Structure 1
Amino acid sequence: MDLAELATRPALGLLVPPANPTVEPEMNRLIPSGARLYATRLPVMPDTTLDQRNRAYIASYEPALKSFGSLKLDAATVALTGPSYRLGAGEDDALAARLSASAGCPVETASGAIRHALKAIGAKRICLFSPYPAWLTEEAAGYWTGASFTVAQVVKVSETFRAYELTTEEVEAALCQVETTGIDAIVMSGTGMITLPAMAARPERSSPPLLSSNLCCAWWMMKKTSVAPGPAFARACAQLAAA
């Protein structure tokens, strides 16, 4: 594809936490050449705790969207989940609506994209796969329960926030702890956690499907812009690719 043809493809935007090493590499594999992918970084907040950052990030979403300048986006996602978990699904939807109105294109949070994906595959009972400390895992479980999903199991990959440092081996080992009976989907929360190698290593259409934050963000943006998922996406989650 030459540059002239590429310029006609939908432009997809990402808002990424400043130190997150995973969003762009996974998105570039999940989203095929039928779209253009652009990212902006949220502000660095030195000398703050994870909880303080989660509370402060929300105010930076609209300025971050404006940092794309005159680049016209066709859809965008806020590629982090933590700040939304303390809001609950209703406030999360209201936030996405405000951001969409401000940006002039559909904008969704990662948690909202996961909700849409769960509904698209008809999943009700989930296993929450968490790389978070206990307090944020509790907020996440409350978010999903409040959004009318049943959190049937919680599997914690770490007792501290290590999402950016987790190895594929650690993720795969934690997945072995999931009790799959009666589970409709495994929600792998956290955009900084590497998930694609573990997802691609599973047999096609394994049950329950793995839904990562990055996978769901990619799917939501592609649905909004009529971009068909490519082979890498289908290997990661055939059920969502067909939804």
Structure 2
Amino acid sequence: MDQPPPLSPRPGLAPRLLMGVVVPATNVTTEAEMDDLRPAGTINATARIANPDAAVAGDADAAVVRAAMVAGLMAALDTLAPARPDHVAIGVMVENFVGGGAAGAALLAEAEARIGCPVTAPTGATLAALAALGVRRIALLTPFFPGGDAAAKAFLEDAGIEVVRVLGLRAPGPAAIARVAPARLREAVRELDGPEVEAIVQVGTNLPFAAVARDAEAALRKPVLATNPVTYWHALRRAGVADRIAGAGRLFAAC
């Protein structure tokens, strides 16, 4: 009796890389913005964190939402593990949620041990992108309330990045972040820019900023970094995929 042919060691559609992507259930932006950058021979396999779309009217409400996301992170990784990803990009600011520094590093280490492969998160990716572009002075765009703004600013400043201006959009809930109009995002870029600003950096993974960032970067002639492309870029580079992607901004074109 003939034996079936042996299985390939890699998925047929992912001869180069199987990238895991973990996002909150309310996030409808990260998958699309990362898929737009997916190199040939790569699959993005997504897992979702069970989080509620709770109303957010201030920092106390935001803290409850962040806690739910952190609590669901490991369970989401468990649903992704059977696919055996080579690398995982996390579409949440885990360091922001747990205070940054040692606590953030510990959470990422726990995530890597849980899934059994390297894990890339947005804040570390942002620092890598700024280093690659030689940027030390930025303006910061977030969808957060003041507490979230302060945490993101502190993480960057602790790493030696000067944050000269912060604009928080105060989205009234996790799902609402994805519904901020492009016109408001373009206006935010204008509010943040100035001659002292070397780059504009956006955080908050559900904010649909990638297309706005590409247009703004061309117009301003300086880096405008959207968090999902930045995270995906760093994850690809850490996984050994160095493709340059025309039209995706200077980070993908040059670094």
Kindly indicate whether the alpha-carbon contact (under 8 Å) linking 2:145 and 2:169 is maintained by their aligned counterparts in 1.
no
| Cα distance in 1 between the residues matched to 2:38 and 2:217 | 21
Render the CA deviation track for 1:177-220: whole Å, top value 9, x for unaligned.
Answer: 12332323211111111112212324649533111110111101
Which of 241, 244, 254 aligns to 1:227? It is 241
Deviation of 1:75 (Å): 0.8
| Cα distance in 1 between the residues matched to 2:247 and 2:189 | 17
**2:225 corresponds to:** 211
Deviation of 1:80 (Å): 1.4
Structure-to-structure mapping, 1:190-209, within 5 angstroms: 190-202=204-216, 204=218, 206-209=220-223
Render the CA deviation track for 1:80-134: whole Å, top value 9, x for unaligned.
Answer: 1266255123322232222112211110222222122222222211111122112
Are the structure 2 counterparts of residues 91 and 147 from structure 1 closer, same or farther at C-alpha, using a change threshold of 3 Å?
Answer: farther
Render the CA deviation track for 1:28-86: whole Å, top value 9, x for unaligned.
Answer: 10222231101111013366733112123223222211112421111112101266255
Say which structure, 1 or 2, has more relative contact order (CA 8 Å, 6+ apart).
1
Larger radius of gyration: 2
Does residue 105 of structure 2 align to residue 93 of structure 1? yes
Does residue 151 of structure 2 align to residue 139 of structure 1? yes
Structure-to-structure mapping, 1:96-175, within 5 angstroms: 96-158=108-170, 160=172, 162-175=176-189
3-state DSSP class of the match of 1:163?
Answer: helix
Deviation of 1:221 (Å): 1.5
Runs of 4+ in 1 over 3 A off after TM superposition: 45-49, 156-162, 202-207, 228-231
Does residue 50 of structure 2 align to residue 43 of structure 1? yes
Deviation of 1:17 (Å): 0.8
Report how many residues are paired.
239
3-state DSSP class of the match of 1:100?
Answer: helix
The TM-score, its normalising length taken from structure 2, stands at: 0.83
User: What RMSD over aligned residues (CA atoms) do the two structures have, in Å?
Assistant: 2.5
**2:36 corresponds to:** 29
| Cα distance in 2 between the residues matched to 1:46 and 1:209 | 32
**1:236 corresponds to:** 248
Does residue 76 of structure 2 align to residue 64 of structure 1? yes
Are the structure 2 counterparts of residues 125 and 86 from structure 1 closer, same or farther at C-alpha, using a change threshold of 3 Å?
Answer: farther
Q: How many percent of aligned residue pairs carry the same amino acid?
A: 25
| Cα distance in 2 between the residues matched to 1:198 and 1:46 | 25
| Cα distance in 2 between the residues matched to 1:4 and 1:52 | 38
Are the structure 2 counterparts of residues 89 and 213 from structure 1 closer, same or farther at C-alpha, using a change threshold of 3 Å?
Answer: farther
Amino acid at match of 1:210: V
| Cα distance in 2 between the residues matched to 1:92 and 1:120 | 22
Amino acid at match of 1:43: A
Where do 5+ consecutive residues of structure 2 fail to align?
Answer: 1-9, 56-60
